Structure 1
Amino acid sequence: MTDPTLLVLAFAATLALALVSAAALRGWQGWLELRRLELNGGRAAPGARGPARVELTELRDRVRRLEALANGVEG
């Protein structure tokens, strides 16, 4: 009755549409969060996650330790 190729093609198109929709939704949520931060004057909204700040601090500490090792100072 139904051509299997057509069924596979329809499934692939539906899956592609779902993936594109999920990516667009993720981008939209990120853009809204950015706008919220701008409206709050750069302060995070209550309950907002801020892993970037922690990660940046950890990276700076790692760089300091690596520089100390490169200079021969144990840190």
Structure 2
Amino acid sequence: MDPLTIGVLSGSVIAGLGGASFAGLKAWNGWLELKKMELTQFASDRGLPPATGRIEIADLRERVRKLEAIAAGIDI
């Protein structure tokens, strides 16, 4: 084979690999951005728990206070 042909073929292979790598990295970056947007949307949707959840949390806190008082030997 002619050295010029080998050079052209190797150059086009390197250019093709470079283009494919660039496209793959661009797609990966887009996928990461999509996941970041999904996570921020999920975090903002959570917000405060529903009222029943807040009541249950308050009830659990009261129970913990009572148990701590019992453990400390204090009558309520």
TM-score, with structure 1 as normaliser: 0.52
Question: Which residues in structure 2 correspond to 1:1-75 (within 5 Å)?
Answer: 3-41=3-41
Displacement of 1:41 in angstroms is: 1.0
CA deviations over 1:45-72 (Å, ceiling 9, x no partner): xxxxxxxxxxxxxxxxxxxxxxxxxxxx
| Stretches of 4+ aligned residues off by more than 2 angstroms | none
Return 5+ residue gaps in structure 2 as ranges. 44-76
CA deviations over 1:18-57 (Å, ceiling 9, x no partner): 10000001000000000000100169xxxxxxxxxxxxxx
RMSD between superposed Cα atoms in Å: 1.8
Greater fraction helix? 2
TM-score, with structure 2 as normaliser: 0.51
The one-letter amino acid of 1:36's match is: K
* Larger-gyration structure (1/2): 2
